[in-house]
């Protein structure tokens, strides 16, 4: 069985070659021997403020060329432990969020059945609904571990029910997520009313606000996550707007006073060993990320931490 790993960086500079995630081989995601498939979801129709996330996968791939295989803090060789490929981009229909959710679900389901873990690069957060439908089709309702500035449980925007602020409400309605095993963290910023604070909890989610999260150590956060999620299937979703806008200026709905990357990475890293069935990093909007593309750098780093979280699980 083939083992897929990044191109040899001693043979050519890391900025050489067609851009794939971490310089991985571009391979069909359902191929034999694939543990993880990195996949783009270039979609931003469902964005309520600044668009551009359709170019997120391109930018994250570009920034990811700086990644290397060995994770010194978790002491794991990510790409030796896991066979990882870049599976290209998933099908989407610009201008049509409901259809895109269907396309994403339909194309992810065969991967999941083949035992592949998808790591999806957004795209706006509406794409998570397609991911959850595919997961649920294979495993039943899944737990969601979410780091995000927003709970994304609105009912609709200007009459549109499939929007980047609504996916988790839709997911509860469709019973593709299990809110009783799910935990959202990082929510901050002004709201329309006090009711908005209660909405995710009424749907059954546990919520740690941004203010509370800053009081938790990574281990405390991880303990909360593990206690909530239990042994059932789970996915990990990271919206870059959970970061402070200085670190993630290139995003659709920036919210001031967010996490520092050192915080965010520690939180993700503390989940090492949890056998997630899916990951995503969403809401990178490159037009607002010039010239150094720091948001994409952070997104690539978070994606790498997700791989490391899984590598530790597989290593055991």
Chain residues 174-203 in contact with its own copies, contact rule CB under 8 A = 189-194, 196-197
What gap in Å lies between CA 284 and CA 252, rounded to an integer? 7
Of 174 and 196, the one with the shorter C-beta distance to its own copies is 196
Shortest Å distance, C-beta 48 to its own copies? 7
Of 52 and 233, the one with the shorter C-beta distance to its own copies is 52
Given its phi and psi angles, is residue 138 left (phi above 0), alpha (psi -120 to 50 degrees) or beta? alpha
Q: Dihedrals φ, ψ of 9, to 5°? A: -75, -10
Of the candidates 52, 118, 141, 165, which one interacts with its own copies according to CB under 8 A?
52
Binding-site size for its own copies (CB under 8 A) equals 94
For residue 207, the cross-strand partners are 184
Of 60 and 142, the one with the shorter C-beta distance to its own copies is 60
Of 178 and 244, the one with the shorter C-beta distance to its own copies is 244
> What is the chain's alpha carbon radius of gyration, rounded to the nearest angstrom?
18
Report 214-233 residues binding its own copies (CB under 8 A).
214
Of the candidates 30, 102, 137, 157, which one interacts with its own copies according to CB under 8 A?
157
What gap in Å lies between CA 255 and CA 188, rounded to an integer? 8
Report 4-43 residues binding its own copies (CB under 8 A).
9-20, 26, 40, 42
Of 114 and 246, the one with the shorter C-beta distance to its own copies is 246
139: contact with its own copies by CB under 8 A: no
Of 176 and 248, the one with the shorter C-beta distance to its own copies is 248
* Burial (Cβ within 10 Å: 0-12, 13-18, ≥19) of residue 231: exposed
Of the candidates 199, 250, 277, 282, which one interacts with its own copies according to CB under 8 A?
250
Instruction: Check if the beta carbon of residue 183 is closer than 8 Å to that of residue 225.
Output: yes
257: contact with its own copies by CB under 8 A: yes
Of the candidates 304, 306, 310, 311, which one interacts with its own copies according to CB under 8 A?
304
The tokens describing 315, both together, are 């290593």
Of the candidates 4, 36, 47, 151, which one interacts with its own copies according to CB under 8 A?
47
Cis peptide, bond prior to residue 291, ω within 30 of zero: yes
Per-position x/- string for 268-287, each x denoting binding to its own copies as judged by CB under 8 A, each - no binding: -------------------x
Instruction: Check if the beta carbon of residue 155 is closer than 8 Å to that of residue 166.
Output: yes
Of 162 and 238, the one with the shorter C-beta distance to its own copies is 162
Instruction: Check if the beta carbon of residue 104 is closer than 8 Å to that of residue 197.
Output: no
Of the candidates 120, 253, 281, 310, which one interacts with its own copies according to CB under 8 A?
253
Report 68-107 residues binding its own copies (CB under 8 A).
68-73, 75, 77-78, 86, 88-89, 91-97, 99
For residue 85, the cross-strand partners are 37
Instruction: Check if the beta carbon of residue 77 is closer than 8 Å to that of residue 70.
Output: yes
Of 215 and 231, the one with the shorter C-beta distance to its own copies is 215
Instruction: Return the residue matching tokens 């709905």.
Output: 253
Instruction: Check if the beta carbon of residue 224 is closer than 8 Å to that of residue 216.
Output: yes
Q: Dihedrals φ, ψ of 99, to 5°? A: -65, -35
């Amino acid at each position: 069985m083939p083992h897929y790993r990044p191109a040899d960086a001693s043979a050519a500079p890391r900025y050489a070659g067609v851009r794939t995630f971490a310089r991985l081989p571009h391979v069909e995601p359902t191929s034999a021997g694939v543990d993880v498939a990195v996949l783009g979801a270039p979609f931003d129709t469902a964005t309520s403020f600044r668009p551009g996330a359709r170019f997120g996968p391109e930018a994250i791939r570009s920034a990811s060329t700086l990644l290397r295989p060995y994770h010194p803090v978790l002491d794991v060789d990510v790409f030796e432990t896991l066979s990882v490929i870049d599976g290209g981009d998933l099908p989407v229909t610009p201008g049509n969020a409901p259809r895109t959710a269907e396309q994403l679900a339909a194309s992810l389901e065969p991967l999941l059945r083949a035992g592949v873990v998808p790591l999806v690069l957004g795209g706006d957060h509406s794409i998570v609904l397609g991911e959850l439908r595919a997961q649920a089709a294979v495993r039943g309702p899944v737990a969601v571990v979410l780091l995000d500035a927003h709970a994304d449980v609105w009912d609709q925007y200007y009459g549109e029910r499939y929007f980047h602020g609504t996916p988790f409400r839709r997911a509860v309605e469709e019973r593709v997520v299990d809110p009783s095993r799910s935990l959202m963290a990082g929510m901050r910023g002004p709201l329309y009313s006090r009711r908005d604070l209660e909405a995710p909890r009424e749907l059954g989610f546990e919520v740690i606000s941004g203010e509370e999260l800053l009081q938790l150590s990574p281990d405390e956060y991880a303990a909360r996550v593990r206690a909530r999620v239990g042994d059932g299937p789970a996915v990990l979703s990271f919206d870059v707007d959970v970061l402070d806008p200085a670190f993630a200026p290139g995003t659709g709905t920036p919210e001031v006073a967010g996490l520092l990357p050192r915080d965010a990475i520690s939180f993700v890293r503390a989940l090492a060993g949890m056998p997630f069935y899916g990951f995503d990093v969403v809401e990178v909007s490159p037009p607002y990320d010039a010239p150094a593309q720091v948001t994409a750098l952070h997104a690539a780093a978070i994606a790498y931490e997700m791989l490391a979280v899984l590598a530790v699980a597989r290593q055991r």
